[in-house]
Amino acid sequence: MKHYITILLITFLIPLNIYANDTEWFNKYLMIIDVELDDRQTIDLLEEWVGLYEENETLYLYNLSTEEFFCAFENGIRSATIKEVTKTSGVVNVRLIVNENALIYVTFNRKNGQVITCKADHI
């Protein structure tokens, strides 16, 4: 009887553990949707996703895999807000509004958290 209870517990707990590990890395973004981040918090967050390069008070963002610049902030970064986190079976998309006039859109591999694409638009 103990053997069956042990097997039942293991069978029940393993799928929950797999699910928790699968979603754990992006839960931190879900928790701060619509929370205004200051300049330091914004830079810390962006450093997780992209490369940053500063020259003459302009902060440039670049794709880490291609090393191509895709966005520039002439007067630096003041604040940001995560506006949306969407997830599908394969990817997680995050929309970040920076300085109230730039949209940073990042697509991650849901399984490993690696950045797939990162784009910026003026809003």
Model confidence band, residue 23 (pLDDT cutoffs 50, 70, 90): low
Q: How many CB atoms lie within 10 A of CB 85?
A: 19
Backbone torsions φ then ψ of 70, nearest 5 degrees? -130, -5
Closest CA to 49 of 74, 7, 82, 3: 82
Model confidence band, residue 24 (pLDDT cutoffs 50, 70, 90): confident
Whole-model pTM: value is 0.76
Contact (CB, 8 A) for 83 and 76: no
Q: What is the pLDDT of residues 48-98, one digit of tens each?
A: 999 999 999 999 999 998 899 999 999 999 999 999 999 999 999 999 999
Provide the pLDDT for residue 79: 97
Tell me if residue 13 falls in helix, strand or coil. helix
| pLDDT at residue 112 greater than cutoff 80 | yes
Provide the pLDDT for residue 123: 86
Contact (CB, 8 A) for 62 and 68: yes
Backbone torsions φ then ψ of 80, nearest 5 degrees? -160, 160
Q: What is the pLDDT of residues 34-51, one digit of tens each?
A: 999 999 999 999 999 999
